[in-house]
Chains A and B, each alone.
Chain A
Amino acid sequence: GQQLNQSPQSMFIQEGEDVSMNCTSSSIFNTWLWYKQDPGEGPVLLIALYKAGELTSNGRLTAQFGITRKDSFLNISASIPSDVGIYFCAGRSNTNAGKSTFGDGTTLTVKP
């Protein structure tokens, strides 16, 4: 089946630093989605990307849909303590019955 490689697995950063994480796949996706899971809660959508090359921002978050359609990255600028959580990428392709495949997540810790 389709698999996503998400990296890094975890990050420990100082408040105010920028963060970058990415997902790669051997398969082509039609949609890339980035979710955040706060401790004790379910994941919530942050950004959705629908077109190769697309660059989309949501506040301090910026995500890009790779040109090859096999990768995506998420950047967080000027991190704050509430950015703590697990970030998941998900790819969706029409060849997988329209289901999303999730990466294993990046756990972010922000030190005040």
Chain B
Amino acid sequence: DADVTQTPRNRITKTGKRIMLECSQTKGHDRMYWYRQDPGLGLQLIYYSFDVKDINKGEISDGYSVSRQAQAKFSLSLESAIPNQTALYFCATSDSGVTDTQYFGPGTRLTVL
């Protein structure tokens, strides 16, 4: 089984709809992240959480919110989706050690019409 899972894997929605993307991990890591990937723009950090009670904004948090329901679960919400939020979204985890090696989920492809 995958260490980091994301649901759904693909989603098509309409402008103005509320969307939630979910992430679960079995690695026992404290740190979790949500990234957005657009072609040619690499990975942009949306939000990150270093433990269950810690939530921090990343580079592009406007229009997004998150919830850390448990150590293993970190969800990303788009309160009112807009077309320029069409992108590939990745969840990742890392331990709190020196390396900060990040383990990524398989991604969720979101299309907002």
Question: Which A residues are CB-close (under 8 A) to B35?
Answer: 102
Q: What is the size category of the interface that chain B forms with chain A?
A: 20 to 34
Interface residue B34 (Cβ < 8 Å from any Cβ of A): no
Q: How far is the CA of A68 from the CA of B104 in the complex (A)?
A: 29
Q: How far is the CA of A100 from the CA of B43 in the complex (A)?
A: 10
Contact indicator A50/B98 (Cβ below 8 Å) = yes
Contact indicator B48/A99 (Cβ below 8 Å) = yes
Which of A44, A48, A88 lies in contact with B43, CB distance below 8 A?
A88
CB proximity of B39 to chain A, nearest CB, Å: 9
Question: Which A residues are CB-close (under 8 A) to B59?
Answer: 1
CB proximity of B13 to chain A, nearest CB, Å: 21
Which of B4, B42, B56, B101 lies in contact with A102, CB distance below 8 A?
B42
Contact indicator A48/B101 (Cβ below 8 Å) = yes
Q: How far is the CA of A103 from the CA of B101 in the complex (A)?
A: 15
Q: How far is the CA of A1 from the CA of B61 in the complex (A)?
A: 15
Contact indicator A31/B100 (Cβ below 8 Å) = yes
Interface residue A98 (Cβ < 8 Å from any Cβ of B): yes
Q: How far is the CA of A9 from the CA of B41 in the complex (A)?
A: 10
Contact status of A48 and B102, CB under 8 A, knowing A42-B90, A103-B42, A104-B41 = no
Pairs A–B under 8 Å by Cβ, sample size 16: A1-B59, A31-B99, A31-B100, A40-B107, A41-B106, A42-B106, A42-B107, A43-B102, A45-B102, A48-B101, A98-B100, A99-B48, A100-B100, A102-B43, A104-B41, A104-B42
Residue positions of B touching A, CB distance < 8 A: 4, 35, 40-43, 45, 48, 56, 59, 90, 92, 98-107
